[in-house]
Structure 1
């Protein structure tokens, strides 16, 4: 019997919000979230960003039953050429990376931790949605700071590295609402990232809506400032394995 009990398979549309380009397609992401019998889950995503220089990114990440990252893989192509690939592993007291890139060459990183890493940002938009699970909803609307988070790249498109880059993450919960996107109408949670301390360039205000079913599947996201972009769930299939 398969260890996967249910899967969510879908597609996200990337569009522009820039003046004169409103609604223009600028990329896409196909994703799969597998929930395993032991309570762990695997997120896999293939993303294509058309804006020059174009980026193609493939990621795969395993998250344990405790919600903590266990390992991840990231591969990126920029402007049609291989940029780098990296494997990341996380334990109770360490985080390590083995990577090869066209800029840094072959590299190994091992970081000692005084407590387990809470999350890993691999730049897949579906993973951005799952990062919202870090917010303690029992405390109600407001701000919560996550101070232990690594990214695979400080670039807002994830187009460098991949290698460890430490940041913090401020998450703001705005409330619950019903949201209609291309994929349908959902009970949603509305969050934003008002600040990402540690980035070399200040990140514009980033609003995200995800499902309220405990899976935190991204439904819609909007980023202003110099990014001027929008993401929307276009297709979602829910598969229950082993069901008649």
Structure 2
């Protein structure tokens, strides 16, 4: 077998005092590294908080972890919200989508530079995105102006459509992290500089991922009005 597959489960809980530790969702993901160097992410995400969200995402990344293509299907409040297919070349981003509010939409976006990352809103993807930070520069902040989202909503509960933005990543440092799935050498990052890029500024968001080149999500916490916590509870691999 020439490919490697990693499977995991992430539990979503609340950090709000009145709901501290209460489960509010879950995510099942699979990452397959193929023999041609392509990595394919499958993620099934469930958010229980009303209006509840069910999201299914399949995204492929080239050997340098630039997005190749992505499909998203979304249910919000137990009703079909939309389905979209995005494709990327060095000079163009394309999206064909159908959603409950707007019907069928076609987007063709000319690019001055390649899209460095597509945020499709699975939590496991929030760790994979950290791969774009140049660790050779050590702890600090780096800016990434050429990014896209499938929804500007903080829960990813609209669309799907392509939304261009930029943000920053701050590398805090290396730590050892213990979660329900085990104890791991970890990289600690913080998402920063979202002001002015989104309809509503995203609250502070810290993420810890594995320090093994796979960037597997270990844990994360969002502050502000969201007050949410995410933790890896199961992890397995065929390697």
1:61-76 to structure 2, matched below 5 A, reads 61-76=59-74
Moved over 4 A (4+): none
Q: Following the alignment from structure 2 to structure 1, what is the Cα–Cα distance between the partners of residues 234 and 194?
A: 29
- The superposition leaves residues 192-242 of structure 1 with CA deviations (integer Å, 9 ceiling, x where unpaired) of 0122241110111100000000110110000010111000000000112xx
- In structure 1, the partner of 2:223 is 224
- In structure 1, the partner of 2:47 is 49
Asked if residue 114 in structure 1 is aligned to residue 145 in structure 2, the reply is no
- In structure 2, the partner of 1:235 is 234
- The superposition leaves residues 9-68 of structure 1 with CA deviations (integer Å, 9 ceiling, x where unpaired) of 010000000111010000000000000111110001000000000000000000011211
Q: Following the alignment from structure 1 to structure 2, what is the Cα–Cα distance between the partners of residues 135 and 81?
A: 37
- The DSSP-based 3-state class of the residue aligned with 2:125 is helix
Give unmatched runs, 5+ long, in structure 1.
Answer: none
- In structure 2, the partner of 1:84 is 82
User: What is the number of equivalent residue pairs in this alignment?
Assistant: 238
Q: Following the alignment from structure 1 to structure 2, what is the Cα–Cα distance between the partners of residues 52 and 127?
A: 23
- In structure 2, the partner of 1:213 is 212
Q: TM-score, normalised by structure 2?
A: 0.98
Larger deviation, residues 117-126 vs 192-201: 192-201
Q: 8 Å contact 2:117–2:147 — kept in the other structure?
A: yes
Give me the CA root mean square deviation.
0.8
Give unmatched runs, 5+ long, in structure 2.
Answer: none
- The DSSP-based 3-state class of the residue aligned with 1:20 is helix
Q: Following the alignment from structure 1 to structure 2, what is the Cα–Cα distance between the partners of residues 44 and 131?
A: 15
Asked if residue 160 in structure 1 is aligned to residue 151 in structure 2, the reply is no
